[in-house]
């Protein structure tokens, strides 16, 4: 992740919002903007990290959901073929759905 871009910062000395890209000192009061720029960069970086973590968590949850579905598709396929009948297959599918809900609950509790 590259450096964050700062547009405007609040001058710590006079409180005015100034363009941080062009100024290292406040055009209004002449105070240094270095601390204000550093603070703003830190603030934006932290927000960026929080957003990245949120995205990671969402992706992880989506993957877990998918993994669970794949496992039960496999179980249903095996159960269906082993039973070798429409009735047994239907029972297998019903049992699969039942277990799936249980497992999903178990996955969610672990988090």
Per CB under 5 A, 14 contacts Zn ion: yes
Each residue 63-102 as x (binds Zn ion by CB under 5 A) or -, in order, gives: ----------------------------------------
Reference 65, options 75, 73, 53; nearest CA is 73
What minimum distance in Å lies between the beta carbon of 16 and Zn ion? Answer: 5
Per CB under 5 A, 37 contacts Zn ion: no
| Residue-wise DSSP of 40-79 | HHHHHHHHHHHHHHHHHHHHHHHHHHHHHHHHHHHHHHHH
What minimum distance in Å lies between the beta carbon of 63 and Zn ion? Answer: 49
What minimum distance in Å lies between the beta carbon of 33 and Zn ion? Answer: 8
Which SS3 state, helix, strand or coil, does residue 9 take? strand
Is residue 37 within 8 Å of residue 20, measured between CB atoms?
yes
For Zn ion, the binding residues (CB under 5 A) are: 11, 13-14, 26, 28-29, 31
């Amino acid at each position: 992740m590259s450096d964050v871009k700062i547009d405007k910062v609040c001058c710590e000395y006079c409180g005015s919002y100034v363009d941080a890209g062009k100024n290292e000192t406040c055009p209004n009061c002449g105070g240094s903007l270095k601390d204000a720029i550093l603070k703003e960069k830190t603030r934006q970086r932290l927000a960026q990290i929080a957003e990245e973590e949120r995205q990671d968590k969402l992706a992880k949850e989506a993957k877990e959901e998918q993994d669970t579905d794949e496992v039960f598709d496999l179980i249903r396929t095996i159960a269906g073929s082993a039973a070798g009948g429409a009735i047994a297959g239907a029972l297998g599918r019903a049992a699969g759905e039942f277990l799936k809900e249980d497992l999903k609950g178990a996955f969610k509790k672990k988090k």
